[in-house]
Amino acid sequence: MNFHLDFIEDKVEFFEATNLQTLQKKIELQIDENRAIMLAVHSVSHQMHVNENGQTYFTAVVHFKKK
């Protein structure tokens, strides 16, 4: 009987929030979860948008790669 494991090598996740603190918490939680499956942060890209009512909206894309 052959036993073969396939590991995730790349993973891209998207996050959104109405303030930076919430966005940071969401990303940090996911970093901890992905660390358990041997993925580390490779890059982070983020943007901020202000709508016509003056509300801010933050988004981020985090690319995880196998260690």
pLDDT (0 to 100) of residue 19: 94
Average pLDDT on 15-26 reads 97
* Average pLDDT taken over every residue of the chain: 94
Q: In angstroms, rounded to a whole number, what is the distance separating the alpha carbons of residues 18 and 21?
A: 9
Q: What are phi and psi of 17, to 5 degrees?
A: -165, 165
Residue 11: predicted pLDDT? 96
35 within domain boundaries: yes
Alpha helices in the chain (DSSP H): 20-35
Q: Residue 30 and residue 9: Cα distance in Å, rounded?
A: 16
Number of domains in the chain: 1
**Is residue 59 included in any domain, yes or no?**
yes
Residue 64 has pLDDT above 90, yes or no: yes
What tens digit of pLDDT does each residue of 7-19 get? 889 999 999 999 9
The pLDDT tens digits for 36-48 are 999 999 999 999 9
Q: Residue 58's domain spans which residues?
A: 10-66
Read off the DSSP letter of residue 53: T
Does the residue 1 lie in any domain? no
